């Protein structure tokens, strides 16, 4: 896994982890036009965890769920079913096979993250924040990395719950506690 940076004002994403990385290295590229000095450290930490999970899920797809740390077989099969489901849709929507591949990776992995990775990522952010608040105070930073629309579509979360989590996240944002990178 390799971390790099670009500055691209036309791309709204704070980072991207394309599937078509060459060789055995998966590259995570941060966009310095979006992830600026003013970005809250906990937001950036959430993005790093989100993109790292993309990289790991790329690896599991490429290696057919080989170790270290494979997914449980039932969950990997579910991920592959999501992959096929979105691939059929994206084949209709895109002409370039590379676009189909990257959109299918994004769709299936975001659905999987919304299904199973909200609490683990929130737990990592809570640890990063020196366990200052309960877990719910950190979940907004996970959902808001593009997972909310998948969670709403699939019924993993409701609008009311997202609003509640958003309000709780402001306590983390507005306190006087400084993270290493603030
Ligand atoms: Zn993503």
The total domain count for the chain is 1
Ligand 1 centre to CA of 175 (Å) is 28
> Does some domain include residue 165?
yes
The per-residue pLDDT for 83 is: 97
Long-range contacts at 144-148 (CB < 8 A, ≥ 24 apart): 145/46, 145/47, 145/50, 146/110, 147/110, 147/113, 147/114, 147/118, 148/114
pLDDT at 21 over 60: no
Q: How confident is the model at residue 161 (pLDDT cuts 50, 70, 90)?
A: very high
Ligand 1 centre to CA of 51 (Å) is 6
> Does some domain include residue 21?
no
> Does some domain include residue 33?
no
CA angle 116, 76, 51 (to 5 degrees): 55
Ligand 1 centre to CA of 52 (Å) is 9
Nearest by Cα to 15 from 31, 26, 38, 4: 31
> Does some domain include residue 15?
no
Q: How far apart are CA 116 and CA 156, in angstroms?
A: 10
Q: How far apart are CA 3 and CA 25, in angstroms?
A: 10
Q: Where are the alpha helices (DSSP H) in 63-135?
A: 73-93, 97-116, 118-128
The tokens describing 173, both together, are: 């944002």
The one-character DSSP state at 155 is: T
Domain boundaries, position 140: 41-174
Q: How far apart are CA 143 and CA 130, in angstroms?
A: 20
The tokens describing 7, both together, are: 């500055």
> Does some domain include residue 9?
no
Ligand 1 centre to CA of 47 (Å) is 8
pTM: 0.92
> Does some domain include residue 18?
no
Ligand 1 centre to CA of 83 (Å) is 15
pLDDT at 142 over 80: yes
Q: How confident is the model at residue 182 (pLDDT cuts 50, 70, 90)?
A: low
Q: Encode pLDDT of 1-13 as tens digits.
A: 899 999 999 999 9
Q: Compute how many other C-beta atoms are within 10 angstroms of the C-beta atom of residue 138.
A: 28
pLDDT at 77 over 90: yes
Ligand 1 centre to CA of 146 (Å) is 6
Ligand 1 centre to CA of 171 (Å) is 25
The tokens describing 130, both together, are: 């020196």
> Does some domain include residue 23?
no
> Does some domain include residue 66?
yes
The tokens describing 167, both together, are: 């309000």
- Comparison of pLDDT for 132 and 23, the residue scoring more: 132
Ligand 1 centre to CA of 111 (Å) is 10
Distances in Å between the alpha carbon of 77 and those of 47, 64, 138, 156, 173?
A: 26, 10, 29, 19, 38
Q: How far apart are CA 100 and CA 150, in angstroms?
A: 18
Q: How confident is the model at residue 91 (pLDDT cuts 50, 70, 90)?
A: very high
């Amino acid at each position: 896994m390799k971390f790099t940076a670009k500055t691209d004002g036309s791309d709204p994403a704070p980072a991207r982890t394309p599937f078509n990385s060459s060789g055995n290295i998966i590259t995570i590229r941060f966009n310095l036009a979006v992830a600026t000095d003013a970005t809250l450290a906990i937001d950036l930490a959430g993005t790093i965890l989100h993109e790292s999970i993309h990289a790991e899920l790329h690896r599991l797809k490429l290696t057919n769920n080989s170790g270290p740390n494979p997914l449980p077989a039932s969950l990997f099969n579910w991920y592959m079913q999501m992959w096929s489901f979105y691939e059929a849709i994206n084949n209709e929507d895109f002409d370039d096979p590379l676009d189909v591949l990257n959109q299918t990776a994004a769709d299936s992995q975001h659905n999987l993250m919304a299904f199973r990775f909200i609490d683990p990522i929130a737990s990592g952010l809570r640890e990063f924040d020196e366990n200052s608040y309960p877990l719910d105070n950190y979940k907004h930073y996970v959902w808001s990395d593009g997972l909310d629309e998948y969670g709403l579509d699939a019924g993993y979360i409701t609008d009311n719950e997202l609003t509640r989590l958003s309000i709780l996240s402001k306590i983390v944002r507005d306190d006087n506690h400084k993270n290493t990178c603030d």
